[in-house]
Amino acid sequence: MPKMKSHRGAAKRMKRTGSGKIMRHKAFNRHILTSKGPKRKRSLGRPVEITGTVAKTLSQMLPK
């Protein structure tokens, strides 16, 4: 049986951790940062875990 291919668009946006969680980055952190507070900018910089039904769909798109 051939290897499963990962969905390349999803692979570029999401990463799987060593424990199997799927992490993504938050939006709204590219420009117009002067009007956003330091706390908000810090939280936008951190990756976030994807949970729920979306995580099940993405785990099929990102096999490993």
- Report pLDDT digits (tens) over 8-31: 999 999 999 999 999 999 999 999
Judged on CB neighbours under 10 Å (0-12, 13-18, 19+), 22 is: buried
Q: What is the pLDDT of residue 40?
A: 97
Whether pTM exceeds 0.85:
no
What's the CATH number where 20 sits?
4.10.410.60
Q: What total of structural domains would you count in the chain?
A: 1
At 17, list the tokens: 């951790």
Q: Evaluate if residue 1 carries a pLDDT over 90.
A: no
Cα separation, 62 vs 64, in Å, equals 7
SS3 percent helix, strand, coil of the chain, rounded to 5, is 35, 10, 50
**pLDDT at residue 64, rounded to an integer:** 78
The answer to whether residue 3 sits within a structural domain is: no
Domain containing 30 equals 8-61
Residue 50: closest CA among 23, 17, 28 = 23
